[in-house]
A and B are shown apart, each in its own frame.
Chain A
Amino acid sequence: MLKEEVPQDQGIADGLKEVTYAVNGNGDYVMVPSAGWEPKNISNYQAWEVIAEQIETARCQVLNNEVSPLAYHMARNQMDIGLLAQYMGIMRWRVKRHLKPQIFKKLNSNMLNRYASLLKVTEEQLQDISLVEKLRIPGQDQE
């Protein structure tokens, strides 16, 4: 890749320039900042769309009262039951139980507080997902 060919396609990187290696006019390697590259943007948006889909699925399930709001927060934080259980320092089966709406409603404030601080939301947001901001896909404008 020649220095002049280093792509500067704004997108997923949200303004952060990363270093790429390219060859200058004398044939020497130099480090050149790049704002991004279209194929990379495309493949990253593809991954973000999958995440956004998972969050949306969880949101609908919460609204239908099929799962507890915790499921939504879990998706939004790109976690699965195993990872969430590790961070909470509790067994997986307990997290699984907390994903049931009727059990989640009865959680004590200590447990709610631990979930909330881990997931970086308030206790109110933890219980009412309509208070949570919509996920922003990096580099794309909000509608």
Chain B
Amino acid sequence: MKIDYTHHQSAHCENGATAGLISHYGVEMSEAMTFGIGAGLFFGYIPFIRLNHLPLTTFRVAAGSIFKRVTKELGIKIETRKFRDQQLAMDILDETIAKGIPVGLQTGAWWLPYFPDAYRFHFNMHNLVVFGKKGDSYLISDPVFPEPVICRADDLRKARFAKGALAPKGKMYCLSEVPAQVDLPNAIKNGIRTVTKAMLKYPLPIIGISGIRFLAKRLERWPAKLGEDNALLHLGQLIRMQEEIGTGGAGFRFIYAAFLQEAATHLNDDRFIAFSARMTSIGDRWRELAVRAARNCKGRAGTEDSFPAMAKILMDIAAQEEELYRDLAGAVVE
């Protein structure tokens, strides 16, 4: 059986799955709009959480929170479920799609056989949408792939019950009630408010704008503190987190710029076109940082690529982002 579900490739899996599910029920939703209303943009440099022994830098909010926020903002009722019993988890999945309801799943990327080797890590927050079953295989809209894919039941079961950090525990989610009319302008403003608040006022020095400045100061000292080799590993990790599959480029800054552009139309407010352009140039600065960092990793760094020079770019980004969020916050009050 196959549900009439439209697959769109997107940059990021959770945005893509969320946008796809909402659009399925007749409310046209782009990935960027989902990301914006879901208040996905973020920054955090969290040295005490380690990934492969290297500090975590994040450019987006915690997984699952975009889906939760967007559905709440738009008044969509959702059903989510986790399982202990693997067989039950697969049976309920089958029952739900048999009713014609597309189902979002949280999975561990390691076990998905259609993933290219490069993306096979023990990463447990990969979202996809199941929209059909044929024999023993599921039809899957995996948001980061250009076309729908097929996955055998046994592999999908393993992916749903991947172990390790943030294990999915068979988590599935679907929409149970979608209103015919949604208040987009209001949802957009709320989404922007949440982002500006987190980026400007989060009461921790490693989060938001102060987090970017904190990283800048740390980064400048990496070679002295960690030694040359380890400093390069730290730099490499930073680029990977920024440009990893799913960010749409520049640590989600370009997706957010696309959202601001769409917001201009919905709010009928041309100021947002200028905000979008500013976010684009901030994204370009992030990309410039990645270029310089990569030159270091490759051993081809010139004087303009030194650690203090990179720290300076980060400080500049922090200043630009701070100003932009202040202006954005001002534009959505009332």
Contact = CB atoms under 8 A, between A and B. Distances in A.
Interface of A: 1, 12-23, 27-29, 31, 33-34, 37-40, 42-44, 46-47, 50, 78-79, 82-83, 86-87, 136, 138-139
Contacts of A1: 249-250, 254, 280, 283-284, 287
Given A21-B249, A21-B255, A39-B243, A16 B145 contact: yes
B294 A21 contact: no
B243 A21 contact: no
A20 B164 contact: no
A19 to B, nearest CB: 4
Contact of B294 (A12, A13, A42): A42
Contact of B297 (A21, A28, A42): A42
Contacts of A39: 239, 243, 290-291, 293-294
A140 to B, nearest CB: 10
A20 B287 CA distance: 13
Nearest to A78: B122
B117 A138 contact: yes
A136 B116 CA distance: 12
B118 interface: yes
Interface string B274-294: 001100100110010011011
Given A21-B257, A43-B239, A78-B122, A138 B116 contact: yes
B116 A47 contact: no
B283 A27 contact: no
For chain A, what secondary structure do more than half of its interface residues adopt (helix, strand, loop), or is it mixed? mixed
B164 to A, nearest CB: 5
B232 A28 contact: no
Given A40-B244, A83-B164, 4 more contacts: A1-B287, A12-B118, A28-B261, A40-B240
Interface residues of B, number: 50
B11 A18 contact: yes
8 contacts: A13-B116, A13-B118, A21-B32, A28-B261, A31-B10, A40-B244, A42-B298, A83-B164
Given A46-B232, A47-B240, A20 B297 contact: no
Interface string B1-30: 000000001110000000000000000000
Q: Determine which residue in B118, B233, B261 has the highest number of CB atoms from chain A within 10 A of its CB, and name it.
A: B118
Contact of A38 (B121, B163, B233, B294): B294
B293 to A, nearest CB: 7
A75 to B, nearest CB: 13
A19 B10 contact: yes
B223 interface: no
B146 interface: yes
Nearest to B298: A42
A22 B254 contact: yes
A37 B276 CA distance: 23
A86 B169 CA distance: 13
A138 B262 CA distance: 37
A20 B118 contact: no
A16 B116 contact: yes
B226 interface: no
A136 B117 contact: yes
A23 B122 contact: no
A28 B284 CA distance: 16
B289 to A, nearest CB: 9
Contacts of B243: 37, 39-40, 43
Interface in B108-155: 116-119, 121-122, 144-146
A23 B280 contact: yes
Given A18-B245, A21-B32, A40 B283 contact: no
Contact of B240 (A13, A20, A44, A86): A44
Contacts of B276: 29
Question: 10 closest Cβ contacts across the A-B interface?
Answer: A39-B294, A138-B118, A29-B258, A21-B254, A43-B239, A86-B163, A46-B236, A43-B236, A19-B11, A138-B117
Nearest to A136: B117
Interface in B212-264: 232-233, 235-237, 239-240, 243-246, 248-250, 254-255, 257-258, 261-262
